A and B are shown apart, each in its own frame.
Chain A
């Protein structure tokens, strides 16, 4: 009897969860479906869901827009460039804070976090002015630096929480076994740190790829990534649903896949270790 009730319960909850899950996912599903339609079927009333003539035409057209590849390349360069640079600067910092904590380490960490909370709009004009003076407005280099800086606190914070989980005793044990400092770093610490660094890289690529304040306000043509490319579809003459959908699908697909892999790290990274 009790068993029947739990199975019944499970069926109800499963149906409810799937219903809500599909509802939340629907806009993404709809975008993907629409990207395979012709422009006429894309706005058909009543809407068609699966039984239409699937076409890759939109993807071809979007890619042929001579500049699509440039936007894509810019997105890749900004995301990877800022992440690489950020890791390069953050690993030593997080490392020293985790293994050689000083009296003020906690204050430094919190202060770093507070820079993340500065509203970007408050410093937009000076940043633009500085970039204009340096001849770096609408340049990838400048944006790589800015994206690196806005995410640096999150990177350091995340790495710090990972590094802190590496037990210090293991180093002592290695030393007792006669490991030199080089051995320690190469064979003991690095293998233990790599999973944490990898998750941090993943989350940071996602954040940099989707960043849509600086990329919209500091670029015009040369350095504009996919966020800006998609925004250009908001003008009335850009109302092509199927093509908008194809462009959108291409812009979100890689990140969606990476995001699904990094669910757990996401919680740690975005709550600064406050929820684990």
Chain B
């Protein structure tokens, strides 16, 4: 149907986008790859060639790396658990016939639109501050010792903040998916005597499986590169240094570019593994 002429016009229309994205992806990545083989410390003026894989070995064999991997996994696991379980619950709740459903939905999704630095700072100061925070007031009111959340339970606190930001996303997507569920199916099951639990387990949950996968994968990609929330709360202290933050510190704060670049490449590889899985899920949908 499409003529030769319209095809070449189409290619010309795509060219700027493809070219820009190609440059944006390749140039910095190749530079990072190159830096990762150097002893490159700008503050000391060293720019020496041929470390080979030395930076990678040093980066991976430092305890900071494994700590950061553990922290990243804990952050990821915690946030995913809270947002997916909470999201399913909220989506089912919001799908029920209730008064003011539209308003409740607006309230629930609001946190997603709050810029990361604002949500992190509001939680840090106005809720988790050990002297003036609302949690401290509440603890004192019931006769408990106030807790300095961000230094006593730093990772938990950050998980809480990030979950608050991402719960709306999970809820919104799962709600969209639930609403596409044929209610007749549920009614039929109910008439056949299926209780709420088996209706959920045998109908709702399988129906949601694909959306849950999408939520998990997309959140994983965004959560792997969480930055602002750590930057303004703990600055990576108290065991909240994720892989992203560790690389940032190596490259920008201690200006060990060679070592940090090796870490950056490792982060890229790890993210690509997740991305490849996501692509397969999204790609399948493209055929449908």
Contacts and interface: CB of A to CB of B under 8 A. Distances in A.
Nearest to B114: A252
B177 A102 contact: no
A122 B32 contact: yes
Contacts of B281: 274
A192 interface: no
11 contacts: A9-B96, A18-B98, A25-B107, A95-B13, A110-B279, A119-B225, A122-B29, A210-B116, A217-B248, A245-B122, A263-B106
B111 A27 contact: yes
Interface of B: 2, 6-7, 9-11, 13-14, 16-18, 20-21, 24-25, 27-29, 31-32, 35, 90, 93-94, 96-101, 103-119, 121-127, 132, 134, 137, 140-141, 164, 167-169, 172-173, 176-177, 210-211, 214, 218, 221, 224-225, 227-228, 231-233, 244, 247-248, 251-252, 257, 260-261, 264-265, 267-268, 271-272, 274-275, 278-279, 281-283, 285-287
A271 B29 CA distance: 26
Contacts of A17: 93-94, 96, 98, 101, 104
Contact of B114 (A16, A102, A149, A256): A256
B113 A210 contact: yes
A163 B92 CA distance: 32
Nearest to A125: B251
A118 B29 contact: yes
Nearest to B16: A89
B107 to A, nearest CB: 4
A123 B6 CA distance: 37
Question: For the side of the interface on A, what is the size category?
Answer: 35 or more
Interface string A201-213: 0000010011011
Interface of A: 6, 9-10, 13-14, 16-18, 20-22, 24-25, 27-28, 30-31, 34, 43, 45-47, 89-90, 92-93, 95-97, 99-100, 102, 106, 108-110, 112-115, 117-127, 129-130, 149, 152-153, 156, 206, 209-210, 212-213, 216-217, 226-228, 230-231, 233-234, 239, 241, 244-245, 248, 251-252, 255-256, 258-260, 263, 266-267, 270-276
Given A100-B10, A263-B109, A93 B126 contact: no
Contact of A271 (B214, B227, B272): B214
Interface of B is mostly: helix
Nearest to A28: B110
A124 B268 contact: no
Nearest to B7: A100
Nearest 9 Cβ contacts at the A-B interface: A259-B113, A123-B28, A96-B10, A122-B264, A126-B31, A212-B228, A92-B13, A100-B10, A21-B107
Contacts of B286: 106, 109-110, 273
Contacts, number: 297
Contacts of B124: 234
A251 B114 CA distance: 8
B278 to A, nearest CB: 8
B7 A217 contact: no
Contact of A120 (B27, B93, B225): B225
Given A14-B99, A17-B98, A108 B14 contact: yes
A117 B172 CA distance: 22
Given A126-B27, A210-B114, 6 more contacts: A25-B108, A121-B267, A152-B17, A227-B116, A234-B233, A241-B125
Given A27-B127, A266-B172, A276-B176, A21 B115 contact: no
A156 B115 contact: no
Given A13-B93, A216-B231, A231-B228, A124 B264 contact: yes
B108 A46 contact: no
Given A93-B18, A115-B24, A126-B32, A252 B118 contact: yes
Contacts of B115: 209-210, 212, 226-227, 230, 251-252, 255
A125 B99 contact: no
Given A110-B283, A275-B211, A28 B28 contact: no
B14 A96 contact: yes
A8 B248 CA distance: 54
